[in-house]
Each structure stands twice: as structure tokens, then as C-alpha cells.
């Protein structure tokens, strides 16, 4: 059989993996320890931190979906980032995007203070500017695309060509687009990261991360590092993530279809100054006309839930200034456009008309409340 589509790969995860029973649904293996029949004689499993049958199936699927060779399932998105950065040491220099998830920015600050790993921040707009950030100790480039929360797309292939020419690793956070819309390894990236809590899981019921690589040396390094640190995904969460991945292509189509309808509404609304949408996916950011409208808007939405996170079947609305990006100093975040007027939406899979009507009603009520106050 030839190369399978992402939809077929997703739907088939776990099927025909249990030869003994023929189970279609991948069994959930809770066991911590595994029996040996003699010295050096076993099943290939010893201790669940090192390997677990349920997690193994998940990791194989993650690698296949990203067109990689080695997949690693971790206990959170930030633990996935932490695993990747075990590759670097004191004195190394990393070029990062300026517009990135606030938790990643906070973690990079910790690496700078405690481990003296140096970071420079690029605005992501002009590839030629990257040369100005190069140092003798530069080891890697870290990007999210589209960026969080300003939804700026970065040309992975161009950055990969620059990284390769300068012997740097390229690390790409693919959380927003998922392997359904974008496969960074095929564009030249070396390492892909996911907060699998988001679209990969898709149901707001697990905390998980993923790292995928193609290079054998990187694969061996991260396998050893993950076994050493123990930040692996639990068997039950691995099973839940397998279940979520089975519908990922279907969900991404609905997220995107709904997002385009919401974008159309927002762009036509008089209270919205600007909409940031990269043209695909389910994530939208927008600037509202007056910061005084934000609190009443968030109080009056009914279908949208005012909450952090993204990528679930339920639509969420987030205020980056006080939630996901609160750890970025105000002067810094405002310098590149992350102002107090910005809101971020994760569009779910509800009916698009219902979502638009919810936003319309909330904006109308917010406008009336602002006038009264």
C-alpha cells in the first residue's frame, strides 16, 4: 500500500496493535513493571518510565503524522519544550521569535538566569535580519508559526535554509497548525514541538506535550534524556491522546470553516479595529476599539468561554495581557503589538451561526454597558 493520508493514519491509530487479542481499540496498559523470565529475557518492556505499550503506539503515531522518525510524548507542552532544550548548555545562544507563547518566554528567562543560555529575539518579518543575530555560540533557532498571539506566519523553509547554512538546529512549535495543516520536518526543520493539550488532544481533558524528530542522533539523545528525566505522558493520558488524534483531521476542518465565518463577522463589525488571521486554522486574534469594552464583552459571551488554552471542541476567548502572556513585561509586549486591546479566540466546532450570534450579542451588550459607564 502506498503512502496513507493523515486522515487514514489518524483513524487507524492503535488498530491491529494487540496481536494477542485482536483489539481494535489500543489497550490501556497501567502496569509499572514487566516480568522477566530469566536474566536478560523479557518482552522488551521493563519499567513504564522507559517504555509503555500504550505510549509507544501514541509516539509512533505522532512521528508518522509529522512525517518524522521518532516521537516522544511528554507530560505537558512545557515539558516538551524543556526536553528539547536539554540539548543545550551554559554559554549557548538561541535565536527566538519575539512573538511567542508567554510560558515559553518565561521559561527562556529562567534558562538565561539560571543556566546562562543566551536568547536573542527576532521579529520574524525579514529573513535577512537573522544574520545580524548570529554569534559564534549560536546553536539553534526557535519559532512558532503562526505566532502566538499575533498570528504571523513565518516561512519555515527559508528559516531552515538559513539554519542549515549556518549549522544551526531549527525548532518549530507546530501547536496552532498541527500536522494536518503543516509538517515542519518536510520544510527543513530539525525538531517539532506540540502542546498536545491543545488541538492534538482536542477535548480540554488532558495535559500533554510532544517532540518529533527525524534525525537518528537527535532521536537517541531525546530518548535517553526523557528516560532520565521521567517527564513522560501517563498511560491513561496517552490513551486519551490517541482517542483525540483519531478525529484530528475532521476537527481541524470544522475549526477552520467556523474560524473563517467568525473572521468575516469580526472584520465587518464597527467595534473591531483589526483582525489577525493567517488564512487557515482555528485561531483568531483581534483588536477591539476600546479597552473599556473588553471586560463587558467577556462577561456577556455565552457560548464562548473566557478561559486560557485553545484547540478544544469548545470555543474559548482569551485575554493575553492578563492570561497567556502576562509574564511578558508590558513595555516589551506593546512594542511588537501585543496591547491591552487584543483578544484571542480559539474557534470550536459548534455551529458557526451560533458562534457569530454569540459574539454579536456580547459586543452589543458590551457597547451599551460602556456607554452607561
- Domain coordinates in residue numbering, the chain: 6-246, 249-364
Burial of 353 (0-12, 13-18, 19+ CB in 10 A): exposed
What's the rounded Cα separation, in Å, for the pair 88 and 169? 11
Write out the catalytic residue numbers: 49, 101, 173, 198
Instruction: Scan for cell 477552520, then name that residue.
Output: 256
CATH 3.90.226.10 fits 6-246, yes or no: no
β-strands 305-306, 272-276 pairing: unpaired
Angle of the 248-268 helix axis to the 352-372 helix axis, nearest 10: 40
Q: What is the pLDDT of residues 224-255, one digit of tens each?
A: 999 999 999 999 999 999 999 999 999 999 99
What's the rounded Cα separation, in Å, for the pair 113 and 110? 5
**Residue 222, Cα to own-chain centre: how many angstroms?**
19
Instruction: Give pLDDT, residue 139.
Output: 98
CATH topology of domain 249-364: 3.90.1150
What's the rounded Cα separation, in Å, for the pair 100 and 130? 17
Instruction: Give pLDDT, residue 3.
Output: 87
Low-confidence ranges of the chain (pLDDT < 70): 373
Instruction: Give pLDDT, residue 323.
Output: 92
Instruction: Give pLDDT, residue 110.
Output: 97
Q: What is the pLDDT of residues 289-344, one digit of tens each?
A: 999 999 999 999 999 999 999 999 999 999 999 999 999 999 999 999 999 999 99
Amino acid at each position: 500500500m502506498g503512502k496513507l493520508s493523515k486522515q487514514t493514519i489518524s483513524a487507524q491509530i492503535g488498530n491491529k496493535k494487540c496481536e494477542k487479542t485482536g483489539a481494535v481499540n489500543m489497550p490501556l496498559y497501567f502496569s509499572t513493571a514487566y516480568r522477566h523470565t530469566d536474566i536478560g529475557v523479557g518482552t522488551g518492556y521493563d519499567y513504564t518510565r522507559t517504555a509503555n505499550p500504550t505510549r509507544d503506539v501514541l509516539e509512533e503515531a505522532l512521528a508518522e503524522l509529522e512525517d518524522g522518525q521518532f516521537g516522544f510524548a511528554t507530560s505537558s507542552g512545557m515539558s516538551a519544550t524543556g526536553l528539547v532544550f536539554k540539548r543545550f548548555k551554559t554559554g549557548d545562544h538561541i535565536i527566538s521569535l519575539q512573538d511567542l507563547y508567554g510560558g515559553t518566554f518565561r521559561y527562556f528567562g529562567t534558562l538565561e538566569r539560571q543556566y546562562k543560555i543566551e536568547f536573542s529575539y527576532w521579529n520574524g518579518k525579514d529573513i535577512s535580519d537573522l544574520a545580524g543575530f548570529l554569534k559564534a555560540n549560536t546553536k539553534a533557532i526557535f519559532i512558532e508559526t503562526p505566532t502566538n498571539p499575533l498570528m504571523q506566519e513565518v516561512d519555515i523553509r527559508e528559516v531552515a535554509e538559513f539554519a542549515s547554512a549556518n549549522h544551526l538546529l531549527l525548532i518549530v512549535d507546530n501547536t496552532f497548525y498541527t500536522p494536518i495543516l503543516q509538517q515542519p520536518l518536510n520544510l527543513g526543520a530539525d525538531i517539532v514541538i506540540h502542546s498536545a493539550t491543545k488541538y492534538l488532544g482536542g477535548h480540554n481533558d488532558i495535559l500533554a506535550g510532544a517532540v518529533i524528530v527525524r534525525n537518528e542522533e537527535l532521536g537517541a539523545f531525546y530518548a535517553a534524556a526523557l528516560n532520565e528525566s521521567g517527564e513522560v505522558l501517563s498511560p491513561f493520558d496517552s490513551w486519551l491522546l490517541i482517542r483525540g488524534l483519531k478525529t484530528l483531521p475532521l476537527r481541524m476542518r470544522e475549526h477552520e470553516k467556523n474560524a473563517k465565518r467568525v473572521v468575516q463577522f469580526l472584520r465587518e463589525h464597527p467595534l473591531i479595529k483589526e483582525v489577525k488571521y493567517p488564512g487557515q486554522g482555528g485561531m483568531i486574534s483581534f483588536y477591539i476599539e476600546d479597552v473599556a469594552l473588553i471586560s463587558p464583552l467577556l462577561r456577556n459571551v455565552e457560548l464562548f468561554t473566557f478561559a486560557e488554552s485553545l484547540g478544544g471542541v469548545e470555543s474559548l476567548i482569551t485575554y493575553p495581557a492578563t492570561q497567556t502572556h502576562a509574564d511578558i513585561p508590558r513595555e516589551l509586549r506593546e512594542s511588537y503589538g501585543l496591547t491591552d486591546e487584543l483578544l484571542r479566540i480559539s474557534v470550536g466546532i459548534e455551529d458557526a451561526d451560533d458562534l457569530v450570534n454569540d459574539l454579536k450579542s456580547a459586543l452589543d451588550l458590551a457597547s451599551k454597558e460602556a456607554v452607561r459607564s
